[in-house]
Structure 1
Amino acid sequence: MDISEAVTTEHASFDPETRVSKLRGAFDEEILTNAILVEGEEVEGVIPRKELLDSHHDPEEKLRTIVRSPPRVSRTEDVRETARLMVESELKLLPVYEGTQFYGVITDHAILNLVLEHLDALNVEDVFTRDLISVKPDDTLGRVINVLRENDISRVPVIEETEAIGLISVFDLVEFIVRKMDRNRGGAPDGFDGHAGAGSSSGYRSHPGFGDRSGESARMLDLPARDVMSTPVYTVTPETPLNEAVDEILGTEYSSLVVTNPNGTPTGIMTTTDVLRALTVDEESYMDIQVFGVEHLEGGLTRADISSRIEKIDEKYQNMDILEANVVFHEHQERQRGTPLLLVTVRLFTDQGRFVGSAEEYGARPAFKEAAAIAEGNALEDKSRKHPGERRNRSSSQTKKLLSWWRTAE
């Protein structure tokens, strides 16, 4: 199954010289969802919404300084490979090409719409994230932002005692901040076009600018989570067929559902990323150690070397078992004497939680070595720390269940 039917030519784009403040304002537009495609004379990259929560970004900073280089996909790319690229790049929108020509974009929701009818082979329990991270209604907005950053997540439920009463996403935060700043500071009504922003389809509205935060941001950070959260919270049980759960996600403003036990107590969360990850499973790649971006392996580094290093970490700590490991290689454009700058991320899914290490180095071997050392150090530093994404060790029959729906789809 390829993605051609799910690709769209409608997207929002900005010139690389556009100010960050203008992008913040644009994200308040309903038509914009997870990311903005940035174009100069050609596609330069994507900026995820959560990037704008970084307090270090000056409003006058140019977009080209924060843009992320996404993987390219062909208009007829396999849907599993596209899902894999979204998961490993942590981007919900990717540029699509017809040969060497930019054609359009593909989003996470478009992929889920494409495969929806085939998802009845799975249940929510096959894909959802356990070890739920949450905040309380009276937690400050500053704490909420820190929770999202520290755990590298894009949404968090608001729990009061044993009930989920709201959900706060990056979308909510950016929209809230922009709305407050517009109300208090005002701005020019030129919207997108004043700084070379444009939409590929009609209907894009102008909106006020994003003024200087001044002392207003400090006051906003003290506001309680209940003032920012979205309601109602959509919930689902582990036994719910996955196609029904995904259909509910596609019909709401959210990209997630809170998973509850029979008593209604929240026990986890299911996001579009969880579902995309399930789509990447096949007989060859569903291994304890998965390597993404293998085309960037060079300098003598092999899959066997990677497996050996992960296995040494597993053997080193008797009180921790690694259930699964993901190693992601992402190449930047920068080179040093012909050797590309690589970002390598090592994710260890263990019975003690999830531990991550990332490093940027020139060459695959040094980058992987440093990332693995950081992941190992994080696991050693605090084995009791939990992270969303902890996996159960699936049985052979469960793995076959995850694979079977693809045979039906194809």
Structure 2
Amino acid sequence: MDITDIVAEEFVEVDADERLAKVRAAFDQANPKGVIVTEDGDYAGVIGESELVKSRIQDDTKASVLMTSAPRVDYHEDIRETARLLVEGDVNVAPVFRGETLDGIITTDAILEAVLENLDALTVSQIYTDEVITETTAATVGQAINRLREHGISRLPIVDDADTLTGVITTHDIVNFVVRDENRQEKGDRSGDHDRMLDLPVENLMTSPVLTAELEDSVDGAVEVMFDNDISGLVVTDDDGGVSGIITKTDVLRALTFTEEESMDVQITNVKLLDSIDRAEIVESITQVVDKYQAMNVIHAHVRFHEHKEKLRGTPLIQAQIRLRTSHGQLAGSGEGYGANHAFHVALDKLERNVLERKGVNADAKQRGQLIQNLEL
């Protein structure tokens, strides 16, 4: 299946020097799914719907400041390859070209709507992210913001002292609050001081009750809940109300890229951060680690890079996360370093330790099983 029938031909096109005030006005009038930014008549990037709505950037700022680089997609591209391009580009909208002519845009939602009826064969347990970052009800909004920034995530489940889910706070919640606060201050109400906002209990901003999914739920049902409530993710809970993980539209999109080929399927998010390392080296390095545990079949490997503001002699601090979906469950490794190459190898070392630990645990279990059999004899 290709994307021909799901390309949105209506989109807003603006120049990179255009002020955001006019971009927002054009966006409100046309109600598109994304904005294409051009420079000297050539495609330069995109501004997604969510970025434009949630942005606090002043109206007199140029569109190029909010612009994101997105991959060019061919009009007849396969839907699975398009999903991979969006995930690796870490974008929700991309330009679609017919030859050299800009013909429309493709969005994450359009892809998911097109394949929704085919997602009933998948369960949440197969694609969700099980390593989830949480915060407690005792935290402040400032602490929650730091957690979101530190881990490069957009939603943070809030738990009580018994680790039971009580709420969730997202970057969207925080931006909405800040915008309302600024509007109050413009009217002379200074009660919403910025510092006081950071000191507020996280319970003041979090959403509760939380829309959730369970491990055995079908993925199509989870996506429908996201569509119906105009959200991009759900918290995955266990039978006791605890947090098991997160499932997002990006997780679902990533699942569409899984292949049944013998070669390992490796996906990289934020490829633009790669410096002195390339895809081939990343694939080879992960393969070498996996080969140390030959009994394990890797279904999919996901490498994600996240850039922090801190720099050392001009090189940014990068966080790298490697996640393997295997026949023996999920394995992961993460690490930080200056530059993608350094960060990746720190994460790779952690992944290798986890793989060898899993190998040792299974070997011990096998040995115990043999011992029991001998005793039974």
The two structures have a TM-score, normalised by structure 1, of: 0.64
Structure 1 116/136 Cα, relative in aligned 2: closer, same or farther at 3 Å? same
Equivalent AA in structure 1 for residue 37 of structure 2: V
How far apart, in 1, do the equivalents of 2:285 and 2:155 lie?
Answer: 33
Task: Note if contact 2:54-2:176 (Cα within 8 Å) is conserved in structure 1.
Answer: no
Shift of 1:94: 1.3
Task: Note if contact 1:87-1:273 (Cα within 8 Å) is conserved in structure 2.
Answer: yes
Equivalent AA in structure 1 for residue 105 of structure 2: V
Structure 1 53/243 Cα, relative in aligned 2: closer, same or farther at 3 Å? closer
- The residue that corresponds to 1:389 in the other structure is none
The two structures have a TM-score, normalised by structure 2, of: 0.69
How far apart, in 2, do the equivalents of 1:136 and 1:306 lie?
Answer: 36
Task: Note if contact 2:232-2:248 (Cα within 8 Å) is conserved in structure 1.
Answer: yes
- The residue that corresponds to 2:365 in the other structure is none
How far apart, in 1, do the equivalents of 2:88 and 2:266 lie?
Answer: 14
- The residue that corresponds to 2:163 in the other structure is 162
How far apart, in 2, do the equivalents of 1:250 and 1:290 lie?
Answer: 25
How far apart, in 2, do the equivalents of 1:54 and 1:301 lie?
Answer: 32
How far apart, in 2, do the equivalents of 1:31 and 1:269 lie?
Answer: 33
Question: Are residues 1:81 and 2:50 paired?
Answer: no
Shift of 1:118: 0.5
Question: Are residues 1:121 and 2:98 paired?
Answer: no
How far apart, in 2, do the equivalents of 1:33 and 1:285 lie?
Answer: 41
Task: Note if contact 2:3-2:79 (Cα within 8 Å) is conserved in structure 1.
Answer: yes
Consecutive unaligned residues of structure 2, counting only runs of 5 or more, are 293-297, 306-317, 325-329, 355-377
How far apart, in 2, do the equivalents of 1:349 and 1:77 lie?
Answer: 27
- The residue that corresponds to 1:144 in the other structure is 144
Question: Are residues 1:375 and 2:344 paired?
Answer: yes
Task: Note if contact 1:75-1:96 (Cα within 8 Å) is conserved in structure 2.
Answer: yes
Shift of 1:15: 4.0
Q: How does 1:5-404 map to 2 (within 5 A)?
A: 5-11=5-11, 14-18=14-18, 22=21, 36-40=35-39, 41-47=41-47, 61-160=61-160, 161-185=162-186, 216-284=193-261, 287=264, 289-290=266-267, 303=280, 305-310=281-286, 325-326=301-302, 347-349=321-323, 353-355=332-334, 371-377=340-346
Consecutive unaligned residues of structure 1, counting only runs of 5 or more, are 188-212, 317-321, 330-343, 360-369, 386-410
Shift of 1:178: 1.6
Deviation string 1:158-203 (CA, Å, 9 cap, x unpaired) is: 222433232222222222222221221269xxxxxxxxxxxxxxxx
Equivalent AA in structure 2 for residue 235 of structure 1: T
Name the stretch that deviates more: 71-80 or 217-226.
Answer: 217-226
Structure 1 380/306 Cα, relative in aligned 2: closer, same or farther at 3 Å? closer
How far apart, in 1, do the equivalents of 2:282 and 2:132 lie?
Answer: 30
How far apart, in 2, do the equivalents of 1:264 and 1:300 lie?
Answer: 42
Structure 1 292/219 Cα, relative in aligned 2: closer, same or farther at 3 Å? closer
Structure 1 315/371 Cα, relative in aligned 2: closer, same or farther at 3 Å? farther
How far apart, in 2, do the equivalents of 1:258 and 1:281 lie?
Answer: 23
How far apart, in 2, do the equivalents of 1:221 and 1:34 lie?
Answer: 32
Percentage of pairs with the same residue: 34
Task: Note if contact 1:120-1:241 (Cα within 8 Å) is conserved in structure 2.
Answer: yes
How far apart, in 1, do the equivalents of 2:124 and 2:344 lie?
Answer: 29
Structure 1 30/95 Cα, relative in aligned 2: closer, same or farther at 3 Å? same
Higher-Rg structure is 2
Equivalent AA in structure 2 for residue 167 of structure 1: V
How far apart, in 1, do the equivalents of 2:156 and 2:33 lie?
Answer: 16
Equivalent AA in structure 2 for residue 146 of structure 1: N
Task: Note if contact 1:324-1:348 (Cα within 8 Å) is conserved in structure 2.
Answer: no
Task: Note if contact 2:264-2:299 (Cα within 8 Å) is conserved in structure 1.
Answer: no
Task: Note if contact 1:24-1:178 (Cα within 8 Å) is conserved in structure 2.
Answer: no
Task: Note if contact 2:88-2:268 (Cα within 8 Å) is conserved in structure 1.
Answer: no
How far apart, in 1, do the equivalents of 2:93 and 2:247 lie?
Answer: 19
Shift of 1:74: 2.1
How far apart, in 1, do the equivalents of 2:269 and 2:134 lie?
Answer: 30
Task: Note if contact 1:16-1:39 (Cα within 8 Å) is conserved in structure 2.
Answer: yes
Identify the structure with the greater helix proportion: 2
Deviation string 1:287-335 (CA, Å, 9 cap, x unpaired) is: 16557899xx9x99783x544434566799xxxxx99644689xxxxxx
Task: Note if contact 1:357-1:374 (Cα within 8 Å) is conserved in structure 2.
Answer: yes
Q: Which has the higher contact order (CA 8 A, sep 6+)?
A: 1
When the two chains are superposed, the root-mean-square deviation of aligned CA atoms in Å is: 4.6
How far apart, in 1, do the equivalents of 2:23 and 2:139 lie?
Answer: 24
Shift of 1:251: 1.0
- The number of aligned residues is 325
Task: Note if contact 1:327-1:345 (Cα within 8 Å) is conserved in structure 2.
Answer: no
Structure 1 345/101 Cα, relative in aligned 2: closer, same or farther at 3 Å? farther
Task: Note if contact 1:52-1:174 (Cα within 8 Å) is conserved in structure 2.
Answer: no
How far apart, in 2, do the equivalents of 1:175 and 1:74 lie?
Answer: 36
How far apart, in 1, do the equivalents of 2:131 and 2:117 lie?
Answer: 29
- The residue that corresponds to 1:209 in the other structure is none
Structure 1 61/358 Cα, relative in aligned 2: closer, same or farther at 3 Å? farther
Q: Aligned with 1:109: secondary structure?
A: helix
How far apart, in 2, do the equivalents of 1:135 and 1:324 lie?
Answer: 29
Name the stretch that deviates more: 236-245 or 33-42.
Answer: 33-42
Structure 1 143/10 Cα, relative in aligned 2: closer, same or farther at 3 Å? farther
Structure 1 348/52 Cα, relative in aligned 2: closer, same or farther at 3 Å? farther
Q: Aligned with 2:229: secondary structure?
A: coil
